A and B are shown apart, each in its own frame.
Chain A
Amino acid sequence: MSSTTEKAVAMSKEDTVSKESPAASNRKSLEEDDEFEDFPADQWPAGTSLKDTNEFHTNLWEESWDDVEVDDNFTNDLRAEISRYKQEHQA
């Protein structure tokens, strides 16, 4: 490979590195867990599993589907949009 080509390749590599977003470099620092990893041991002390805690049975899930009183900016905007539509079409 000529030295010019080598320089070009090196420069393009530098470009890639410098253009890399912080999110992308953060991803690189994370371990890609392609396999379901073996547990460190087959057994552990009784009573330490998640199923042995109350939290797991009572506080794990957010089951908000039937709850229509959502209070956040996005839903408040929707509420306002709907009442605006209703006013326009009643007038």
Chain B
Amino acid sequence: MDSGEKLVVDFGDYFAHKYSDEHLVRLLQFHKADKGPLLYMLDNQHGDERVKRVFQLCTKVWELKEAHERRANKRRQTRVALHKELFAAIEEALLLLNRIAERETQWLLYPLFVVASELVREALYMSRVLKLSDEYVERCGRSVHRSFTLCLNDRNPVRGENRRTAVYMFMNLEFKVYHLLGNRDMVKNLIKVIKSRHEDAADPLVPCEQSLAAQYPAQVATYHYFMGEYYGCYENEYGPAAEHLLLALGECSPAQGHQAQIARILVLLVPFAMLSRRAYPRAEAIDAMLTPPEGPAGTTRTKVKVKRTRSMEMVQTVYRAAAQAFATGNVGAYRALIQPPENQMWFLRRGVYVAMLLLEELVLLRRVVLCHHYAGGPSIVPLGLLCAGLSAQQMDTRMLECALANLINKGYIRGYLSHGNQCMVVSKTGPFPPAQPGK
């Protein structure tokens, strides 16, 4: 029978014939309101006890959810008990599927990933909404890590069977868990392992775009988002960070209502690109990406519902003004943006505080470039001239000398300061080297 016409689905059939389809995935997507119109059963003749138990657990999860929906009493105590039961059932299902997957090839990887995602979702709910201890998140992390390692360590030489193809998808789940735990070291270790496998000369790990994740743009975007965050926020390597974040952005679709994800990517991409490429996204381009799509013309359908988030607001106000200050070298305006404590707190929470501080140097550099240009491009630039250009920026000659010394030291200006003559001597050819985006 064609899979699209199924009324009854035999769970054991997937394991007996080693395939998966949308009906199997639907059964495992526990976060959805229901499991759809199909009836799921398991042939009594099915011999594998682990498969039987997984099916029982899936049935239990759906029954628990339905029973809870029918209950009038939904006090916190009841909800906590329900979610503990749900977590335990999904966790056991994932452990069993991990064991089954160790002997299987690629067909089981996506269903395994779906169950692991459900466990992460449940742990996130218990931690963030129910405010339970981190115990569940930690347990979830251990189970997901087993899925990750059973993929990573597969040595099957047949590429079409090797489970390593799903490594990036489980890596994404681990990223989420470690963020929830606030554990940066675990993120670093995870990336170190993947990097070493990329560099394995004998059997290198394929890039994300050639793995199973390539079939799921959400997974490619998530992978590049977290990699960009790692390089930019943990390692201060803004060039690679911007490259990853741009790849993440490219996968998003404004028409599908991805505005929240786009805003989070832009929160990191904008300052990192300004630092590494000295470029920033056009305001109109940002507005277009963050505007929810309209319903089809001539219909009464409303726009896709998109919540307005703080990231969207900051990108469209503070970042826009920062880009303007960056373009004109307006140090005073830039400082006014980064100094308010509520903005600083937000930069810190988003991991861009250091980048925003470093950007102030580039705003000043832009100012120096413009002063130099308007003065006719002399090779000897009096400090007084630069000071005149910066008079409104509350910067005296001494402060300016320090700031210029810093810019010269960092290679932004080719030249030297002559303190005795109160001037800066710059190279006649290329006094302001262009950005090196790789850094």
Count A-B pairs with CB separation below 8 Å.
154
Chain A residues at the B interface, C-beta cutoff of 8 Å: 26-27, 29-44, 48-51, 55-56, 59-66, 68, 70, 72, 74-75, 77-79, 81-86, 89
- Least CB distance, A21 to chain B, in whole angstroms: 11
B261 close to A63 (CB less than 8 A): no
Shortest beta-carbon contacts, A-B, top 4:
A51-B250, A39-B218, A42-B216, A85-B388
Contact of A39 among B258, B279, B281, B392 (CB under 8 A): B258
B349 close to A34 (CB less than 8 A): yes
Instruction: Determine the chain A residues whose CB is within 8 A of the CB of B263 once the complex forms.
Output: 33
B176 close to A35 (CB less than 8 A): yes
Interface residues of B in 214-238 (CB under 8 A from A): 215-219, 221-222, 225-226
Q: Does B255 contact A (CB under 8 A)?
A: yes
Number of interface residues of B (CB under 8 A): 71
Q: Does B292 contact A (CB under 8 A)?
A: no
- Least CB distance, B283 to chain A, in whole angstroms: 8
Instruction: Determine the chain B residues whose CB is within 8 A of the CB of A81 once the complex forms.
Output: 388-389, 391
Q: Can you list 19 residue pairs at the A/B interface with Cβ under 8 Å?
A: A30-B310, A30-B312, A32-B309, A33-B264, A38-B121, A39-B222, A42-B219, A43-B218, A48-B253, A50-B249, A61-B273, A62-B279, A66-B434, A68-B370, A68-B374, A70-B327, A81-B388, A85-B389, A89-B382
A82 close to B257 (CB less than 8 A): no
CA distance A61 to B252 in the complex (A): 17
Interface residues of B in 237-256 (CB under 8 A from A): 249-256
CA distance A83 to B389 in the complex (A): 10
CA distance A78 to B374 in the complex (A): 8
- Least CB distance, A68 to chain B, in whole angstroms: 4
Task: Please give 20 more A-B residue pairs, beta carbons under 8 A apart, in addition to A40-B256, A66-B434.
Answer: A26-B313, A27-B342, A33-B260, A36-B226, A36-B261, A38-B218, A41-B256, A43-B217, A50-B253, A56-B249, A59-B285, A60-B285, A61-B279, A61-B282, A62-B327, A68-B373, A74-B328, A81-B388, A86-B385, A89-B384
CA distance A79 to B258 in the complex (A): 43
CA distance A44 to B261 in the complex (A): 15
Q: Does B280 contact A (CB under 8 A)?
A: yes
Q: Which of A26, A36, A65 has the most CB of B within 10 A?
A: A36
B328 close to A82 (CB less than 8 A): no
Nearest neighbor of B282 in chain A, beta-carbon distance: A62
Nearest neighbor of A86 in chain B, beta-carbon distance: B375
B371 close to A78 (CB less than 8 A): yes
B327 close to A40 (CB less than 8 A): no
Nearest neighbor of B219 in chain A, beta-carbon distance: A42
Interface residues of B in 372-394 (CB under 8 A from A): 373-375, 382, 384-385, 388-389, 391-392
CA distance A51 to B224 in the complex (A): 14
Nearest neighbor of A47 in chain B, beta-carbon distance: B253
Please judge, given known A-B contacts A43-B215, A51-B250, whether A27 and B313 are in contact too, CB under 8 Å. Answer: yes
Interface residues of B in 155-193 (CB under 8 A from A): 176, 179-180
- Least CB distance, B59 to chain A, in whole angstroms: 24
Contact of A31 among B256, B307, B391 (CB under 8 A): B307
- Least CB distance, A44 to chain B, in whole angstroms: 5
Q: Mark B284-316, 1 if CB is under 8 A from A, else 0.
A: 010011000000000000000001111111000
Nearest neighbor of B248 in chain A, beta-carbon distance: A36
Please judge, given known A-B contacts A30-B310, A81-B391, whether A70 and B328 are in contact too, CB under 8 Å. Answer: yes
Instruction: Determine the chain A residues whose CB is within 8 A of the CB of B261 once the complex forms.
Output: 36-37, 39
A65 close to B278 (CB less than 8 A): yes
Q: Does B357 contact A (CB under 8 A)?
A: no
A60 close to B281 (CB less than 8 A): yes
Instruction: Determine the chain B residues whose CB is within 8 A of the CB of A59 once the complex forms.
Output: 282, 285
Q: Which of B180, B278, B285 has the most CB of A within 10 A?
A: B285
